[in-house]
Chain A
Amino acid sequence: DTEVTQTPKHLVMGMTNKKSLKCEQHMGHRAMYWYKQKAKKPPELMFVYSYEKLSINESVPSRFSPECPNSSLLNLHLHALQPEDSALYLCASSPTTSGTHNEQFFGPGTRLTVL
């Protein structure tokens, strides 16, 4: 299984809602990532988990809260988002975070719209 899955594919939420994005991989990868991508822009790194521990937080606002329940799952909890948070949220995984030949495998993304 060489697939990263993400649910839901689309999400529309109000600024007062609480929702979660889910990501799953069964490749035995020990590093997982959340990216935010605006239209026609490159992905921006948000968080990195290495061996289920948060290793990088790119100064992301606290309204985004990541969680890694186990080595296969990665969640992103959303609360009190702003319209400018509307974007494609991509999850990725890689075997580890060390070594340069560690391509990241991306999921299909969740298209988030905040009203």
Chain B
Amino acid sequence: AQKITQTQPGMFVQEKEAVTLDCTYDTSDPSYGLFWYKQPSSGEMIFLIYQGSYDQQNATEGRYSLNFQKARKSANLVISASQLGDSAMYFCAMRVTNTGNQFYFGTGTSLTVIP
């Protein structure tokens, strides 16, 4: 069975500080992809960053980086220099080859950036 776990229902961070959002996953398939999405209150899901199970290096996209620890099955999102516009819901998701490439979403973390 495939599973994504986000244990932080809500997080607060001071503006300009860095924050780490936790994500752990479980799959027996060696081929999988991990994604992070941001969902502001407007509702649209915005793709942030991707990490493949065979990627040797941690993914980075601007202020977003993914701390991928394969042995621990964790894929934490690090947001550097937080901005007020980063306040949103963040979802970790996994796509597994052997399950028809369905997306499995975590329960999400609500991030609030404090001025």
Interface residues of A (CB under 8 A from B): 40-43, 45, 48, 55-56, 88, 90, 92, 97-109, 111
Q: A56-B100, A56-B102, A100-B101 are in contact. Are A42 and B42 (CB under 8 A)?
A: no
Residues of A within 8 A of B91 (CB): 42-43
* Shortest distance from the beta carbon of A42 to any chain B beta carbon, whole Å: 4
A106 with B96: CB separation less than 8 A = no
Interface residues of B (CB under 8 A from A): 31-33, 35, 37, 42-47, 50, 52-53, 89, 91, 95-97, 100-103, 105-108, 110
* Shortest distance from the beta carbon of A106 to any chain B beta carbon, whole Å: 4
Q: A56-B102, A97-B101 are in contact. Are A103 and B45 (CB under 8 A)?
A: no
Q: A40-B108, A100-B31, A101-B50 are in contact. Are A92 and B45 (CB under 8 A)?
A: yes
Residues of B within 8 A of A41 (CB): 107-108
* Shortest distance from the beta carbon of B36 to any chain A beta carbon, whole Å: 10
Residues of B within 8 A of A99 (CB): 97, 101
